[in-house]
Each structure stands twice: as structure tokens, then as C-alpha cells.
Amino acid sequence: MSATPEEIAAENAMYDRLTNTVTEALLTLPTKDLNKWNFRSTLFKQCDRIISDVLESGKGRPQISQFYLCLLLYRIVARLLEPINKEDCGQTAGAVVREAMARMETAAAAARRTSATSIKE
């Protein structure tokens, strides 16, 4: 079952509206705001790599690539609208566990030193 020219035109119009909405909002931001938000070239390189992977997954078919980019955009927006998880605000869970283990080892070593000192005295 193939799409009619009207359905294709409606889908293309939908993609155009989505693209215009996103680009118009981004183009109104001054560069100084982007710098204040600490955007770095590495961030853009990582995003560009992801976008390139998404485009390559379309295998040269622009409509498929555009669809995948819309899905990626949807996921980004959904992620931005999610409540912030405290683990995302700094250290990873593994780093917190490693720090806790280091504190316990330090406390245990201090307890051993204290108990050894009191025995000698």
C-alpha cells in the first residue's frame, strides 16, 4: 500500500513544522548564553556523532533518516521534561559507592590505630 501524494505532502509539512519550530527557537539564542551555559566543542562533537549514526541508519533514504531524527528529537525533549534524578546531578552511583568504601576503610584504619595505641599504653 503506497502513500498518496496528499499524504506525502502532509507528512513533509509536519516535518517542516517540526524543523522550523526547533531551529527558530535555537536561532534566537545569543551566543553569549550558549557560552554561559558552558557548551563545549566536545559536546557538539558527541552530538554530531550520534546524529551521523542516526542518519547512516537510514541507509541513504532521506525520509527514513528524517523520521529517525524526529524520534531522536522526541527522546531528547522527553528526557528534558523528565524530573531530574539526583544521581544525574553530579557523581555516578559507582563513584558514591567507591567514596563510601574509602571512608569506611579510613574509619576502620583509624579504629585499628586507636585500639592499638590504647593497648600499648
Please give the pLDDT value at position 24.
80
Same domain, 118 and 61: no
Contacts by 35-38 with C-beta closer than 8 Å and gap 24+?
Answer: none
Please give the pLDDT value at position 50.
82
Same domain, 35 and 82: yes
CA distance 31 to 117: 62
Please give the pLDDT value at position 29.
76
pTM for this entry:
0.44
pLDDT along the chain (121 residues), means of 10: 82 81 77 71 76 80 80 82 67 74 81 59 48
Three-state SS sequence of the chain: CCCCHHHHHHHHHHHHHHHHHHHHHHHCCCHHHHHHCCCCHHHHHHHHHHHHHHHHHCCCCHHHHHHHHHHHHHHHHHHHHCCCCHHHHCCCHHHHHHHHHHHHHHHHHHHHHHHHHHHHC
Same domain, 72 and 29: yes
Please give the pLDDT value at position 114.
64
Please give the pLDDT value at position 66.
79
Please give the pLDDT value at position 41.
66
Please give the pLDDT value at position 40.
63
The total domain count for the chain is 2
Please give the pLDDT value at position 3.
77
Which residue range is the domain that position 81 belongs to?
5-90
Same domain, 71 and 28: yes
